[in-house]
């Protein structure tokens, strides 16, 4: 990464208090270069979701700035900001609300003004990126949970985002769906920010990890180093699963493109 290139995401001095007075963020600084994959770790209530809702202007900062690929998050650029920042929410049933998968993936690009064959192409591309093309005409409710989450990823990919933000992408997934999603995410050519409690998943997908605790960033380092620091983990209520050792070398399996997750039966 050359620092001269405009970063995908630049958060500076971000502070935020909810209207009820609860202060959630106390001056967060975070710079993510184009193409990076970063895990955002932290205990419940650390302010992770609050931070994410600032990235696309759902919440607006009390102090500090958020810049996405050079464009500041401000009222007059909201539509462009929401195109650039694709948020995949935790519950796919919240994200998928149109009658069919195809309509749902088309929702974002249609809001951007696309129509006709341009729109069809976008939908087609996004669904094939997550291996869900053959389910385009199904109602979302008839898909498995893992399939719904992959469609949720497609709904933001269809907007051509600069950065994809995933809230707990591995939650509620069975191990096979979890692996399929990892393959999809690794095959994407976008900047990735992933909120997760699933530390092995962070290690697998993200070379860099950021720990948010009580509204401040307390660590920002290679994921392996963060997970190998027991004192840091203990201080911020992070725990490795039983029997998991982050220092074990991971076999270098080729990822993305070698398998197509869409062909796995539901």
Positions that interact with other proteins (CB under 8 A)? 53, 56, 58, 79, 82-83, 85-87, 89, 91, 93-100, 103, 106-108, 110-112, 139-142, 155-156, 159
In angstroms, what is the minimal distance from the CB of 166 to other proteins? 12
In angstroms, what is the minimal distance from the CB of 180 to other proteins? 19
Angle of helix 145-157 relative to helix 101-111, nearest 10 degrees, comes to: 20
- Comparison of 87 and 182: residue with beta carbon closer to other proteins: 87
Residue 14 — left, alpha, or beta (φ > 0 → left; ψ -120 to 50 → alpha)? Answer: beta
- Comparison of 89 and 135: residue with beta carbon closer to other proteins: 89
In angstroms, what is the minimal distance from the CB of 237 to other proteins? 25
In angstroms, what is the minimal distance from the CB of 193 to other proteins? 14
- Comparison of 152 and 203: residue with beta carbon closer to other proteins: 152
In angstroms, what is the minimal distance from the CB of 107 to other proteins? 6
- Comparison of 108 and 146: residue with beta carbon closer to other proteins: 108
- Comparison of 18 and 244: residue with beta carbon closer to other proteins: 18
């Amino acid at each position: 990464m050359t620092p001269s290139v405009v970063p995908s995401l630049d958060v500076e001095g971000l502070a935020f208090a909810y209207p009820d007075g609860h202060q959630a963020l106390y001056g967060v600084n975070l710079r993510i270069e184009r193409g990076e994959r970063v895990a955002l770790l932290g205990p419940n209530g650390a302010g992770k979701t609050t931070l994410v809702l600032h990235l696309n202007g759902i919440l607006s900062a009390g102090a500090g700035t958020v810049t996405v690929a050079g464009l500041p998050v401000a009222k007059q650029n909201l539509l462009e900001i929401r195109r650039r920042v694709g948020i995949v929410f935790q519950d796919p049933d919240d994200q998928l609300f149109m009658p069919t998968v195809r309509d749902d993936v088309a929702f974002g690009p249609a809001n951007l003004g696309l129509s006709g064959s341009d729109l069809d192409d976008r939908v087609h591309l996004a669904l094939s990126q997550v291996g869900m093309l053959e389910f385009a005409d199904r109602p979302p409710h008839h898909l498995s949970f893992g399939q719904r989450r992959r469609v949720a990823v497609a709904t933001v990919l269809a907007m051509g985002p600069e950065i994809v933000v995933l809230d707990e992408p591995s939650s509620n997934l069975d191990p096979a769906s979890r692996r399929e999603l990892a393959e999809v995410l690794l095959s994407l050519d976008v900047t990735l920010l992933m909120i997760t409690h699933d530390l092995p998943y962070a290690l697998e997908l993200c070379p860099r990890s950021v720990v948010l605790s009580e509204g401040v960033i307390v660590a920002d380092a290679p994921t392996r180093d963060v997970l190998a620091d027991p004192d840091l983990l203990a201080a911020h209520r992070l725990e490795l699963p039983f029997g998991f050792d982050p220092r074990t070398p991971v076999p270098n399996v080729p990822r993305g493109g070698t398998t197509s997750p869409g062909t796995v039966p539901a």
